[in-house]
Amino acid sequence: MAARGYYQAFQSVTESIKAILHGENAGALADKDHSKWYREMFDPSVAAGILKGRESCRIQESSGLYRQFQTRTAQR
């Protein structure tokens, strides 16, 4: 499951980078796509019943990146 999730997340990040290289605003795109990258990483485990959808959200919320994003967004 982990390998599939990492592959899907990699594909999603690759698409975001392509959009940035075609002129999209990198910061805005990262803010928009960040949750999608996490979802792609944990979807195979949710589909297999290893994790519940809410558990993958808790993993994202407990990561330092999520807290940094919330702090950065609040400062704007």
* Domain count across the chain: 1
On whether the CB atoms of residues 48 and 12 are closer than 8 A, the answer is no
**What pLDDT score does 58 carry?**
54
Q: Distance between CA 73 and CA 71 in Å, rounded?
A: 5
pLDDT band at 45 (very low <50, low <70, confident <90, very high): confident
**What pLDDT score does 76 carry?**
46
Say what the pTM is.
0.67
Amino acid (one-letter) located at 37: W
- State the residue range of the domain holding 37: 2-75
Match 């990146």 to its residue by tokens: 65
- pLDDT higher than threshold 50 for residue 69: no
Within a 10 A sphere around the Cβ of 5, how many other Cβ atoms? Answer: 20
- pLDDT higher than threshold 80 for residue 38: yes
**What pLDDT score does 12 carry?**
96
